[in-house]
Chain A
Amino acid sequence: MNKWNTLLILLVILVTSFPASADKLVVVVNFDNPTVRLTKSQVIDIYMGKNIAFPDGTSATPVDGPKGSKQQFYKVLIRRNLSQVNAYWSRIRFTGRATPPFAKTENISVLSYVENNINGIGYLPKSMVTNKVKVVYEFD
């Protein structure tokens, strides 16, 4: 019985650790978008409202994912938690400079939005990438 318990624990560890590596976030755009690659600085510019455009000057429409992905994304992108991101956007939004990314409550909605909008840009677990979107930035 102990052997089975040990196996079960190992299985749980395996199952929970595998998605952790597979769920690394990547930034994606629509497959037909001419953008091939973005730098971290360009992703920050788009997501923090400094220059909401792709490198060729086309305007971008960023979308945020569900809370878990959003927390992870801003932590690795700018090392800030969500309340700090919200305080930042309050300064930008309520002075009429820019509007924050549209919020999606599920990763699948982010994927669907980017798949159907050539100007869309979102972040997803790498395992969810399809052939209708392309990865333009991967976190280290």
Chain B
Amino acid sequence: MQVLSKIGCILLAFVCCLTFAETNPVRFSGFGNISIATSDSDEFGFRHDLSQSEGVFNGDLNFSNQSKIGAQIEYQISPHLSSVAQIIYQDQEHSDLEDAIRLAFVKYQPQSNIDVRFGRLPLDLFMLTEFRDVDIAYPWAKVPTESYGFLESRYLNGVDMTYRLAIGNSTLAMKAFWGESIFKIFSLGEYTEVDVNKQIGTSVELSDFHYSVSVRYTQAELGNSIASLNALIEQINTLTPIFPNATLFSSGFSLQDSQAEYISAAGRYDFENWSLYGELSRISGDSNLVRDLTSGYLSPVLNAGDWQWYASYSFADSNSYSLTKDSSFNLPLEQLPAELQYLFGQAQAAANFFSAKQHTYSIGGRWNFDESKAFTLQLDRTIIEPNGSTLWVSKQFTANSQQENINTVFFSVSFSF
């Protein structure tokens, strides 16, 4: 039924576009990015988010990591009704046509300050999530990985409603959304798709053209566990005779029916020739697998004619999971047989999968050589704390045991049409 409703939404939006194409204004547009990335690490490969299985290692010149092209069709069906469909092609494993359709919704606007949208919508978790794939829209070569590397979901199948209120020269926009989505992760050499059965969120943004401040809150209910951990959970459950808390303990490693929360406070301010961007965010959950993660970034940008020069600092920090601090684990670990110590060691490692600890200093420049085209060059230096390398692809499928310093360079041409 859910699949049918998804397909229905997509078809409805496309049919609306096509049916009225001959008698109503239809507008086509698009955007894209051609990007090259290289790095100096033999062990940890750069990736933009957890879904990417291919990392950029020392000596690589990677074209596919961030390159993409998108096309959009907008249709004004009547003064109060419009429709948008968007498709993005990106070279990525485990991606099909349904994933490529990023927007497919119908918008009803009873008044100029109220929008109600139904269908496939952009997911508004943090400040940049809605347009993170539109590289021409932001000054950097990529969105800060520390804040956005964990947010793989690109869309929401559901409904949102926005109400805008004029306050002096500013606009207060309040949005609420509800729906379902999925996220995909590549970890420990395996690829997993997790259903987000219910996602409810809200955002409030006060802005005019020169500034914006916003807060966002989203609650998500996850629908299935990570398949590669099911065997581990089953093994732990067989230990009930010696470990009465086994079921309670193992349930902490399942994502089934667990909750996750996303909170963000963000802002942008344009001075005469400077702009300042910043965001502080937090992800938390009630499963052992969703570690409480705090992340953020601050980036000043100098606008000098057709050039933009910028620097940024971004960080991600989370508490590591420790068996000894888990109240449901009440066994004397050191006294257990070696095979059980190994088993619980695996459980601890799995619980730390989402435990990122790193920070990045970036500098870069962007040349807007045309109204809608730009070259961007960015240099990143990332410091990964021990056991904090989740956001990277590891050749050994293990976390780092000591601090790693990695330099990454990005060069891109972004455009819109």
Residues of A whose CB lies within 8 Å of any CB of B are: 41, 44-45, 48, 50-53, 57, 59, 78-88, 90-91, 93-97, 99
Say which size band chain B's interface belongs to: 35 or more
Interface bits B106-137 vs A (CB < 8 Å: 1, else 0)? 01000111010100011000000011001011
A99→B371 contact, CB < 8 A:
no
Pick 12 A–B contacts, CB within 8 A, sort by A.
A51-B112, A53-B113, A57-B111, A83-B306, A83-B372, A85-B371, A86-B136, A90-B416, A93-B72, A94-B131, A94-B137, A96-B121
A94→B72 contact, CB < 8 A:
yes
Besides A83-B371, A96-B105, 9 other A-B contacts (C-beta < 8 A): A51-B164, A87-B139, A90-B136, A91-B137, A91-B138, A94-B72, A94-B137, A96-B121, A96-B122
Interface bits B295-306 vs A (CB < 8 Å: 1, else 0)? 000000001011
B368→A52 contact, CB < 8 A:
no
A83→B370 contact, CB < 8 A:
yes
* Chain B positions within 8 Å of A48 at CB level: 209
B27 CB–A CB distance under 8 Å: yes
A53→B112 contact, CB < 8 A:
yes
Complex formed: what's the CA distance from A95 to B84 in Å?
9
Complex formed: what's the CA distance from A76 to B136 in Å?
23
* Chain A positions within 8 Å of B371 at CB level: 82-83, 85-86
* Chain A positions within 8 Å of B130 at CB level: 91, 95
- Given A83-B372, A86-B372, A90-B137; A57-B112 close (CB under 8 Å): yes
Identify the closest chain B residue to A46 (Cβ).
Answer: B112
Complex formed: what's the CA distance from A90 to B105 in Å?
18
A90→B31 contact, CB < 8 A:
yes
Complex formed: what's the CA distance from A109 to B121 in Å?
35
Complex formed: what's the CA distance from A82 to B29 in Å?
17
Complex formed: what's the CA distance from A80 to B103 in Å?
29
Identify the closest chain B residue to A99 (Cβ).
Answer: B74
* Chain A positions within 8 Å of B131 at CB level: 90-91, 94-95
Complex formed: what's the CA distance from A91 to B276 in Å?
17
* Chain A positions within 8 Å of B306 at CB level: 81, 83
Interface centre among A45, A57, A84, A86 (most CB of B within 10 A): A86
Interface bits B131-149 vs A (CB < 8 Å: 1, else 0)? 1001011110000000000
* Chain A positions within 8 Å of B111 at CB level: 57
